[in-house]
Amino acid sequence: MLPVKKTKRAFYSADAGDGVFTPGKKRRRCLSSPVSKAGPDLLDTIPDDLVVSILRRLASTSRCPADFINVLMTCKRLKSLATSPLVLSRLSRKAIAVKAQNWSEDAHRFLKRCVDAGSLEACYTLGMIRFYCLQNRGNGASLMAKAAISSYAPALYSLAVIQFNGSGGSKNDKDLRAGVALCARAAFLGHVDALRELGHCLQDGYGVPQNVSEGRRFLVQANARELAAVLSSGNEACSWLTLSQPQVTNQIRGCPLLSDFGCNVPAPEIHPANRFLADWFAVRGGDAPGDGLRLCSHGGCGRPETRKHEFRRCSVCGVVNYCSRACQALDWKLRHKMDCAPVEQDAAGGDGEGNVQIEGNVNGDNVLVPMS
């Protein structure tokens, strides 16, 4: 066999004027991706502070958690900038609306990270979850107090409800004056439920000297603010602004709280924290927190009792119970007005005048008077 001779490979050189073959070097395969015809990625040319400003705007206007999650899945740079405290502190309440059936340690850590970033929405939502669902009363109340110090109205109102009921403690822990003070602060900030609660407290003399005319004024303000909120929501007026008509069925056609003014509006939007509470106990306890405890009968509340007979019952039927007069007023116009029926005197232990005393409370602390 003849030996194989190694020869230099010759390549055609375009530089050769005569078009002859000249020795050249072997070309290396290009491993890098070809340059796009559109040029380099423009996102890399935008400064970080401008991207953060855009992400803050997106976070504050997100309509659901998916809007924010899609940003995190885009690229590493957007994920890093989107999880900075400047962006997490501006997340809207809908962006952190965790569902009860999807609750996990990861969701808990994300809310905690938003709390550390300074999000008032996260402080209130996680405070409600820890206080009522995870039964971490002290830490939950502290988170709500942190939001209340920054004048977050829902947190102020929730703390007022806790003071009115003595939630997390005994009956002797009720502080009506503190509840009225917190409620007045939330009402000053325009919270509709706080306005309604304060109006009923003034009318009934509950925790404050009785003043019927002033209480009525707060109730009118609550209705006016409720109407203003619906008008600013973008709904077409012709779709809901109709004259109220007597309902012959038990179907809920909206929130007729403004029926006093001759119009019917959609039901108010439930806060994600209250929706979480209602779904939490529906998934785990069949609409009841267990151990003989009851949920507030208003479907948009979700608050459970922290001890037996904490909430007050309707003085007429004795079937429904509410954490506050505001929840009673909402549920009365939504549903209970059609369902409420006086109970028999022998069965309820009443006094024959529709006043049902609950569990030996002779002063009627756990009894709600009927709505007019």
Q: Which pLDDT tens digit goes with each residue over 312-350?
A: 888 888 888 999 988 888 888 778 888 888 866 444 444
Given a contact cutoff of 8 angstroms between Cβ atoms, the answer to whether 156 and 172 are in contact is: no
pLDDT at 358 (0 to 100): 34
- Report helix, strand or coil for 215: helix
Residue 151 CA to residue 145 CA, distance in Å, equals: 10
pLDDT band at 237 (very low <50, low <70, confident <90, very high): very low
- The dihedrals phi and psi of 367, each to the nearest 5 degrees, come to -125, 135
Give the start-to-end residue ranges of the domains of the chain.
45-94, 270-336
Please, what is the Cα angle at 167 between 97 and 185, to 5 degrees? 70
- In terms of DSSP bridges, do strands 21-23 and 10-12 run parallel, antiparallel, or are they unpaired? antiparallel
Instruction: Check residues 283 and 60 and name the one with the higher pLDDT.
Output: 60
- Exposed e or buried b per residue across 41-63, where buried means at least 16 C-beta atoms within 10 angstroms of its C-beta: eeeeeeeeeebeeebbebbeebe
**Of the ranges 11-25, 184-198, 324-338, which one carries the lowest mean pLDDT score?**
11-25
Given a contact cutoff of 8 angstroms between Cβ atoms, the answer to whether 371 and 337 are in contact is: yes
DSSP codes joined into one string, 100-137: GGG--HHHHHHHHHHHHHT-HHHHHHHHHIIIIIS--H
Give pLDDT tens digits for 92-118. Answer: 999 999 899 989 999 999 999 999 999
The yes-or-no verdict on residue 7 having pLDDT over 60 is no
DSSP codes joined into one string, 339-354: H--PPPHHHHT--SSS
Residue 106 CA to residue 65 CA, distance in Å, equals: 14
CB-CB neighbours of 100 under 10 Å? 18
pLDDT at 31 (0 to 100): 47
Q: How far apart are the first and last CA of the chain?
A: 115
Instruction: Check residues 308 and 246 and name the one with the higher pLDDT.
Output: 308
pLDDT at 24 (0 to 100): 54
The yes-or-no verdict on residue 45 having pLDDT over 70 is yes
What are the tokens at 61? 């206007």
Residue 167 CA to residue 46 CA, distance in Å, equals: 51
What is the pLDDT of the chain when averaged over all its residues? 78
